[in-house]
């Protein structure tokens, strides 16, 4: 009796595992499930009746084998179910063998879209795109930008400082903070490149601001820098006016208000008149001769302008977004609108 029953278990096991592996669709697998594990007429029933016929001594041994076989078949079935379930949807949605353009899966984040648009616009004005690290050292975030050792911009309450000793950087400098502005990239580019220059740099900046509808502790800026002989404030205003018009439409007006930044002289705040409201776009100015001195440019020969524009602000105007926090919440209901 025991030998017969064990042979029956073994062939049940081999046949069911083979049928599970051979099922090529969820429907086929369901048929296999009904045949081998079905509660009413499944072959498991036959095995159970063999158990019923066993003597009381044989039953514990056979019962154990029965349970092992059943749970092995059940887990093989579950594994196969999940294998078959996933790809069918994906295969139906994207047939990678079809000729033609790639299907659009996912979307660009509104900030990424805005940055791509910015690059297009300034690209047409001859700017190339430069990048710099988000973890910066004291030299590039402050010293070379003419920000003296005692200056409110260095306040620990205004910056995300990191433990200097523990963060080593490949270029030998110790990172001290998450950059608070993209102006750091001006310095990095000028250190590496002789004038003339016409670059923008787009990326993240970090400041421990209190988060509300218009402020975040992480935001994006587009920094611009033009250096050549004979560059004036008029060139700055022309570039920003063209830029704002290209992004927001013909009816915008750009205005400068006097301001102060340690690395530009004179310095201005840039506003744009859009739909009857003046909105602040960022800071700008003529590069301070001290900054040229730091990077080995001759301030007697070249002049230049720089600007730093808040990307979130442009993006919010363009898409009528009223709360900056929406950008970084990853709520698909928000993101799928763009
Ligand atoms: N870096 C300045 C800021 O973050 C903006 C700026 C950039 C000002 C370039 C002048 C020149 O506020």
**Residue located nearest, by CA, to atom 9 of ligand 1:** 307
Contacts of 106 (CB under 8 A, 6+ apart): none
Instruction: Give yes or no for a contact between 273 and 252, defined as CB atoms under 8 angstroms apart.
Output: yes
Span 6-55, pLDDT tens digits? 888 889 999 999 999 999 898 999 999 999 998 877 888 888 888 888 88
pLDDT > 70: percent of the chain: 93
- Report whether 208 contacts 155 (CB < 8 A): no
> Do the bridges between strand 197-206 and strand 128-129 make them parallel or antiparallel, or are there none, so unpaired?
parallel
Q: Tell me: pLDDT of 200 over 50.
A: yes
Span 161-186, pLDDT tens digits: 986 544 444 454 566 899 999 999 99
Q: For residue 131, what pLDDT is reported?
A: 95
> Using one digit for the tens of pLDDT, what is the confidence trace for 291-330?
999 999 999 999 999 999 999 999 998 899 999 999 999 9
Burial class (CB in 10 A: 0-12, 13-18, 19+), 7: exposed
242-272 tens-digit pLDDT: 999 999 988 899 999 999 999 999 999 999 9
Q: What is the pLDDT of residues 53-90, one digit of tens each?
A: 888 888 888 888 889 999 999 999 999 998 888 655 55
> How far apart are alpha carbons 140 and 136 in whole angstroms?
7
Ligand 1 geometric centre to CA of 306 (Å): 8
- Can you read off the two tokens belonging to residue 208? 């421990």
144 and 291 Cβ atoms separated by less than 8 Å: yes
Which H or E run contains 320?
Answer: none
* pLDDT surpasses 50 at 209: yes
- Is 183 touching ligand 1 by the criterion CB < 6 Å? yes
CA distance 5 to 47: 8
Question: CA 115 to CA 222: how far, in whole Å?
Answer: 8
- The finding on whether 146 has its CB within 6 A of some atom of ligand 1 is no
């Amino acid at each position: 009796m025991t030998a017969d029953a064990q042979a029956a278990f073994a062939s049940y096991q081999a046949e069911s595992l083979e049928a599970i592996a051979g099922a090529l669709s969820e429907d086929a697998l369901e048929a296999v499930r009904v045949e081998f594990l079905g509660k009413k007429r499944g072959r498991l029933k036959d095995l159970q009746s063999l158990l019923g016929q066993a003597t009381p001594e044989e039953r514990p041994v056979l019962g154990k084998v029965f349970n092992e076989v059943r749970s092995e078949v059940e887990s093989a079935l579950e594994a196969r179910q999940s294998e078959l379930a996933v790809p069918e949807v994906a295969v139906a949605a994207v047939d990678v063998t079809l000729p033609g353009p790639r299907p659009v899966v996912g979307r660009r984040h509104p900030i990424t879209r805005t940055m791509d648009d910015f690059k297009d616009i300034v690209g047409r004005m001859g700017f190339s795109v430069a990048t710099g690290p988000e973890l910066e050292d004291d030299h590039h975030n402050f010293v070379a930008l003419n920000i003296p050792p005692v200056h409110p911009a260095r306040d620990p309450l205004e910056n995300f400082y990191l433990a200097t000793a523990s963060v080593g950087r490949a270029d030998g400098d110790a990172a001290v903070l998450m950059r608070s502005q993209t102006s750091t990239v001006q310095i990095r580019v000028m250190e590496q490149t002789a004038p003339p220059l016409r670059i923008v740099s787009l990326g993240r900046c970090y400041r421990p601001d209190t988060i509300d509808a218009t402020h975040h502790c992480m935001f994006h800026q587009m920094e611009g820098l033009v250096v050549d002989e004979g560059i004036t404030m008029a060139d700055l205003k022309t570039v920003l006016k063209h830029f704002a018009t290209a992004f927001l439409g013909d009816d915008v007006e750009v205005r400068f208000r006097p301001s102060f930044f340690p690395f530009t002289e004179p310095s201005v705040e840039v506003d744009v008149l859009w739909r009857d409201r003046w909105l602040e776009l960022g800071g700008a100015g003529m590069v301070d001769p001290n900054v040229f001195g730091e990077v080995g440019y001759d301030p007697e020969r070249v002049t230049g302008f720089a600007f730093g524009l808040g990307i979130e602000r442009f993006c919010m105007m363009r898409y009528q977004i009223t709360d900056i926090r929406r950008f970084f919440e990853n709520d698909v209901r928000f993101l799928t609108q763009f």
